[in-house]
Each structure stands twice: as C-alpha cells, then as structure tokens.
Structure 1
Amino acid sequence: MAGRKETALDLAKFVDKGVQVKLTGGRQVTGTLKGYDQLLNLVLDEAIECEREQDDPLKLSGKTRQLGLIVCRGTAVMLVSPTDGTDEIANPFLADGA
C-alpha cells in the first residue's frame, strides 16, 4: 500500500463539463468542473446555487444565485452528478393524493 491512494470517484471524465454538487447542510450548486484533487476538493466555474424554501429546507425554490468561480471543500461534498444526461422525474413513492 505504498502507492498513491485512488478516490472511489473518477472525476477526470467530468472535467470541463457541467456537474451538480450537493453539499452537507443542504446546499446545491451547479457549475463547470475545472479541477479536483484526491481529497475531493472541487473547483467549479460559472457556479450557480439553487436556493431553498425558507419554511421547508428540503424543497428547492425557483430562485438561483450566481457565485462565479468557487472551491467546494471535499469534506462538505456529498454527491457529484453530471448535468447532461439526467432528467428530474416525479417521485414514484408519493401517493396520488399527497
């Protein structure tokens, strides 16, 4: 085990492509991945934060906030997903009347 540690996530294929990043604390950011390191620190360009509802922090509001060039600290990153090729679907577990 004297070699370099590899991350479980191969982010090389997402460099210069759009990604959506969910962070601890409920923040969600979308931007272009410009760089990363083995600790999962991410550099995003043209980053946009999707704001949450004040009364229900689990729901996204329609508002966004331009952030520009940011660094997401690896300890706060929970999820990284590509923005291209993904679509939002209705929750199949919700009852029709809910």
Structure 2
Amino acid sequence: MSWSGQPPDLKKYLKKRLNVKLNANCLVVGTLRGFDQFMNLVIDNTVEVNGNEKNEIGMVVIRGNSVMTIEALEPVARPQ
C-alpha cells in the first residue's frame, strides 16, 4: 500500500472525540491530541470498549499500522 508521500489529513480531527477501531477487533474512544506522517495517533482520555465493558486507560499512543477505521463523534469543520 502506497501513501504517495502525503501525510494523513487529520488536522480537522484534532481536539475531537473519536472512535478508533484497531485490528484484533479492539475499539477505543478518546480525544485526538496529535498524529504524525505514519498515522501514529496520540489519544487522550482513552476508554477501551469491549462489549459492555469499559476500561479507562488515559493517554495512549496508537501505532498507525494498527488503525482500521477512525470515526468522529463530534461535528468536524469541512475544508474550504
């Protein structure tokens, strides 16, 4: 898979609450604080969701190649 040298355009998601689905069917919810060109994410106030169980895990760094999907839980400004 080639990214053509372009960093991910996640600026509009900064400081927004996100659902991040990871491989191995893991889901975390938290606030995006930062990211890099490899789509490594820094998520704050993170909660791991496993069925009805919720585990608060604080601030985490998620490696980009573990990310399957990202869903915004708050309105995001459209690019102009």
TM norm structure 2 = 0.83
SS of structure 1 residue aligned to 2:52:
strand
TM norm structure 1 = 0.69
Q: Cα RMSD over matched residues?
A: 1.5
Larger Rg: 1
1:71 paired residue number = 61
Q: Percent identity?
A: 35
What is the Cα deviation at residue 5 of structure 1? 1.9
What is the Cα deviation at residue 32 of structure 1? 0.2
- Listed as ranges, the gaps of 5+ residues in structure 2 are 76-80
Q: Deviations over 1:63-83 (max 9, x none)?
A: 100010000100100101101
1:62 partnered with 2:58: no
Task: Give structure 1 regions of 4+ aligned residues with deviation exceeding 2 angstroms.
Answer: none
In structure 1, what is the Cα distance between the partners aligned to 2:5 and 2:74? 29
Q: Deviations over 1:4-38 (max 9, x none)?
A: 9214x421000011011000101000000000011
Number of aligned residues: 72
In structure 1, what is the Cα distance between the partners aligned to 2:26 and 2:14? 21
Q: Where in structure 2 are the equivalents of 1:9-24 lying within 5 Å?
A: 9-24=8-23
Q: Where in structure 2 are the equivalents of 1:1-98 lying within 5 Å?
A: 5-7=5-7, 9-51=8-50, 61-85=51-75
- Listed as ranges, the gaps of 5+ residues in structure 1 are 52-60, 86-98
